[in-house]
Structure 1
Amino acid sequence: MNLAKYLCYAAVGTLALASCKQGPPTSTKPGKYSSTTGLEYNTEQGMKVADYQGIPEGPGLVFIEGGRTVLGSSEEDVAMTRDNVERTVTIASFYMDEAEVANIHWLEYLHFVRKDSAEEFYQSALPDTTVWARELSFNDPYVDYYLRYPGFRYFPVVGVSWLQANDYCTWRTAKVNEKLAGEGDIEDGGGKKKGGGLFGKKKNADAPADAAVGAEGTGKSKIAIENGNTLPNYRLPTEAEWEYAAQALIGTQETGNENQENKRIYPWDGRQMRNPYGKKMGQFLANFKRGRGDYAGIAGSLNDGAMITEYVYAYPPNDYGLYNMSGNVNEWVQDIYRPLSFQDEEDLNPFRRNGFLDKAEGYDKKGYQSLIDDHVRVFKGGSWKDVAYWLSPGTRRFMAEDSATAAIGFRCAMINAGSNK
């Protein structure tokens, strides 16, 4: 054996021993050298590889372990829409807010928007509090007090359109990542620190509107994704994610196999709406309209206890630890509405972002024969003013993305970046 071959075999053996000793590289332990080129990281010529300990903890989020499920309505289709027929899909793991976004969170948003952004955007971010006003009902006090009175701080924000909810997600992403990156400062392309407004600049502000959200390709201020010290975007959940999280079938999983004991009609076991166990036996498990004219029960023995909305942490959470996935308020999701989404979407992370395969031209909105176009969005979950039928996760409705009501709120979600678990 010549010397060159001997040295080659010796080098391979050394690398093999090192590999056996240290194990294969991982995201959190990539090693000092590239496993394909042997070049050293973090040198003058080598690539910079930042320390990474996993995705940072996102405020307010709960981990939702993904998997296979059957989406679709489990209740009788009383409206005969046939717009959510059962089908098997797989949903990747993700994160979701444990509770609905509350009034105090929206007031915080308004505080920073007014401080950092243009007055025009501040005005557009204000919820429509007149959604409480009814010609034949005395709900007038809620118009003035529901959003701002301290007693309603942790009640779900309402009067918010789908478009406004998306803007909130963008702002929340920026604020959380600014904090993670260091007291609200972000790094520009030249390594300098700077801050700036999000939605339209104040006078004399020099940061671009998209700086704080880390927009790629601007050549200006951004947070480097490669550093791994910031969170992915907060966003509205897809309809499939929302429905999967509401089902919480992880609570019916048998240990050691892939069987589930039962399919749930609601986010809890059984067909009943009342708690069948313990000291709270007989208490309703959600905030909904029990019947015509009956929103809460009788004085001295109020059951669901809420004539309108309720504290976002009221009622027992489901098996993922999520509160009020049925009742209290309906919740916006990302998807545009189409009645045949169930047959068009893919079976891995299904999502309808536009009219692909089902064009808006097929719906006669101009002729008043349809309400469907590319600007109507799905909402889910039932609310304080809905009957029990709409509390089933498989039911779905839609409304224009720029509209708002006193019965629709939202919560945020986030991908589980870099992991399948």
Structure 2
Amino acid sequence: MKIMIKMKKHLLILAGTAIIFGCGQEKSKTTGWNYNDPKHGGFEVSTNFAEQNTPPGMVFVEGGSFTMGRVEQDVRYDWNNIPKGVTVSSFYLDETEVRNVDYLEYLFWLERVYGSNYDNGSYPEVYWNALPDTNVWRDKLAFNEPLVEHYLRHPAYHQYPVVGISWEQAVDYCAWRTDRVNERILIDNGYLWEDPDQVDENVFTTESYLMGQYEGRIRRMLPNLKQGVHNYNKKAGRDREAVRIVQERDGILFPAFRLPTEAEWEYAALGLVNNTEEENIDERRLYPWDGDGVRNAANKNKGEIVANFKRGRGDNMGIASKLNDNADIPAPTRTYWPNGFGLYNMAGNVSEWVMDVYRPLVDQTTTDLNPYRGNVYQTWSRDEDRFLIEKDSLGRIIKENVSHANDKNLWKRRNYSNSNNINFLDGDYDSRLSNDWGKDENINEFGETKENIVSGEIVINDNTQVQIRPEKEGYLSNKDRNNQNSFELDKNTLEVYDYGKTSLVTDNSKVYKGGSWNDRAYWMVPGTRRFLDQSLSTATIGFRCAMDRLGPPTSQLKENQRKPVDWERKKGY
């Protein structure tokens, strides 16, 4: 029996060798040394990887160039979406908004692992913090208590988009989904055993697994071909003692789920992929469909409303026997027709969170490839011996903002000089300063500006540059995420405005896109944009997840080949 178990384990390791490294011996085209050969040093290369698979529930969005911003009249005179030509890399996006049933699965897992109170778990606050705010349905002059009580959990609403979710909760859901999808991949491929009893710091997270800090039930390992580990006299994979866990270089695990950037969401919503001829877009779009109307033009469904929105005051769904959009509140996530990329409800139903920090002005000179505002660079936390710090009590690897303490070359980098770049080129003080910090007495060796800065303490010198009065002492490091102020220079009056105190726009203001069931058609134009504090939620905002596309921008997989929108099919499920 023991011989059979050992033989089975040995065969599993050999199978893993064939799957990852292939059967043939490949050589480096630049050095001539063999890949995946312990006698040649054991440099491991995945020679069988063909293309990134499509994540579950997602659609491949082939990237390209488009005009981002206003295509409709700026009737509100916000002037916050000036048209700008940008390029978006290929990526993946959820086919629909995240549904109630999807979020309930998340809540169930959190309750099972961390508990819902201190009698059945160690960290119930994790579960409490993830709960949607169902009270967002309440209106002082409306009877919405049935929605407060039933919309999230009743099976009648399982296929409806989840609402009452803040930006912060949406980000946490994306992180959880990353770990659950990758854990399932490892289980299905035989690398892990299912472990429903894992709790607290012993839960699977992708990062803790890759960093060697996951202590769960390992089923099998991959061969480690590194010289000094693998027996020199044995063929690759024949040394049963030389093993390792799955790594990123094996191409098995998915990259992280996340919220889409504003540029990605707007590009995907327009779905211009069906309106191209050669290298040109032959017809621009106002909405995610052709034309300037909101009704289906196909013969079989002529006149049908193509999205869930509010047609006018007191008209959420039309009249009985002929409901126009057939929804007074959010509709099931596949109720209407998809756009050119196969994405549902990119106009109407619910608005959606995106990653970006909101700023009212769109600078034409900023990056035109994958534009995004909100970068805060982080790195792994390490001890004084450069070893990773032990994971936290929730099983997560600890990170910290990039600083001169953990990046010795930060002072000479040309592309960034600090971790927090939310306010870069936004009239803030730091991005107007010279990098020659040693010549400015108001800046220390870390490029940190003096603390206790308020509008009255900032002056403009003869060259119209922002400066701080020299008598102020101490330094401002901007480490407090919730108490950061951004300053903007008005070149006409040479005054500096502290937007964190004089307006609702702060570093915690996040963009949300698209119209909702309670909005007029104007907000269904993908170029429109609004903002809300990242800790707040409403009954009209949901979200969907995105994922990076690794490798070439085009896909050869059959499932990723585009199909024309069938406007003749019946609306709904």
Please state which band the TM-score falls in when normalised by the shorter chain: 0.7 to 0.9
Report the Cα offset of residue 215 of structure 1: 5.4
Residue from 25, 42, 45 that aligns with 1:49: 45
Contact 1:296–1:307 (Cα < 8 Å) also in 2: yes
The separation in 2 between residues aligned to 1:352 and 1:206, in whole angstroms, is 35
Task: Name 1:11's counterpart in structure 2.
Answer: none
Letter in 2 for 1:387: R
Which residue pairs with 2:75 in the alignment? 78
Q: TM-score, normalised by structure 1?
A: 0.85
Q: Is residue 134 from structure 1 mapped to residue 139 from structure 2 by the alignment?
A: yes
Among 178, 194, 197, the alignment partner of 1:173 is 178
The amino acid across from 2:540 in the alignment is: A
Q: Does 1:416 align with 2:549?
A: yes
Instruction: Give distance in 2, aligned partners of 1:206 and 1:340.
Output: 45
Rounded Cα–Cα distance in structure 1 between residues aligned with 2:70 and 2:161: 26
Note the C-alpha offset of 1:41.
Answer: 1.5
| 1:32 alignment partner in structure 2 | 26
| TM-score under structure 2 length normalisation | 0.63
Per the alignment, residue 288 of structure 1 pairs with: 309
- 1:342: how far off? 4.3
Q: Is 1:379 aligned with 2:400? A: no
What RMSD in Å do the two structures reach over aligned CA positions? 2.4
Tell me what 1:247 maps to.
270
Structure (1 or 2) with the larger CA radius of gyration: 2
**Identical aligned residues as a percent:** 46
Local SS of the residue matching 1:343? coil
1:77 is paired with a residue whose SS is coil
C-alpha change, 1:119 and 1:269, in structure 2 (3 Å) is same
CA distance in 1, matches of 2:210, 2:152: 38
Report the equivalent of 1:313: 334
| Residue equivalent to 2:396 | none
Unaligned runs of 5+ in 2: 1-20, 115-122, 215-244, 375-421, 429-485, 489-496, 555-573
Q: Distance in 2 between matches of 1:184 and 1:293?
A: 54
Q: CA deviation at 1:420?
A: 2.1
Distance of aligned partners of 1:29 and 1:304 in 2 relative to their CA distance in 1, 3 Å threshold: farther
Cα distance in structure 1, aligned partners of 2:156 and 2:196: 33
Q: Distance in 2 between matches of 1:315 and 1:195?
A: 39
User: Is 1:322 the counterpart of 2:343 in the alignment?
Assistant: yes
Q: Report the counterpart of residue 151 of structure 2 in structure 1.
A: 146
CA 388–400 in structure 1, closer or farther in 2 if over 3 Å, else same: same
**Partner amino acid for 2:276?**
Q
User: 1:134 deviation in Å?
Assistant: 1.1
Partner residue of 2:281?
260
Are 2:121 and 1:124 aligned?
Answer: no
User: Relative to 1, partners in 2 of residues 1:40 and 1:223: Cα closer, same or farther, differing over 3 Å?
Assistant: closer
Which residue among 286, 289, 292 is the counterpart of 1:271?
Answer: 292
The whole-number CA distance in structure 1 between the counterparts of 2:300 and 2:188 is 46
Partner residue, 1:297: 318
| Structure 1 Cα separation of the partners of residues 165 and 197 of structure 2 | 22
- Structure 1 pair 344–285 and aligned structure 2 pair: CA distance change class (3 A): same
Segments of 5+ residues of structure 1 without an aligned counterpart are 1-26, 188-192
Cα distance, 1:372–1:315 mapped onto 2, change above 3 Å: same
Given the superposition, is the C-alpha separation of residues 194 and 42 from structure 1 closer, same or farther in structure 2, using an over 3 Å criterion? farther
Structure 2 CA distance for aligned equivalents of residues 123 and 185 of structure 1: 34
- 8 Å CA contact 2:210, 2:247 repeated in 1: no
Q: Is the 8 A contact 1:159 1:406 kept in 2?
A: yes
The equivalent residue for 2:57 is 60
Change (3 A) 1:65 1:28: farther
- How many residues were matched structurally? 380
